[in-house]
């Protein structure tokens, strides 16, 4: 179930109406920071799990 071009344009238009043009850059910036923090957390948990596995083997 993929979104077509018309659906994406409609969703973007509704977001623009809800938040307004002044808030969109701020909203995008906060979403970007959240995604990068999430990815950083995933990487940290992977490193921690790998360290625990190597300690168990020794």
**What percent of the chain stands above pLDDT 90?**
41
Give the confidence band of 46 by pLDDT, cuts at 50, 70, 90.
Answer: confident
Q: Of 37, 18, 41, 40, nearest to 29 (Cα)?
A: 37
pLDDT in the model for residue 29: 94
pLDDT of residue 14: 93
CA angle, 39 then 43 then 46, to 5°? 140
Q: What is the pTM of this model?
A: 0.56
H helix count then E strand count, the chain:
2, 0
Beta strands in 1-58 (DSSP E): none
């Amino acid at each position: 179930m993929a979104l077509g071009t018309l659906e994406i344009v409609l969703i973007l238009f509704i977001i623009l109406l809800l938040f307004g043009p002044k808030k969109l850059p701020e909203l995008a910036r906060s979403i970007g920071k959240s995604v990068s923090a999430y990815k950083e957390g995933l990487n940290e948990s992977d490193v921690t799990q790998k360290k625990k596995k190597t300690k168990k083997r020794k």
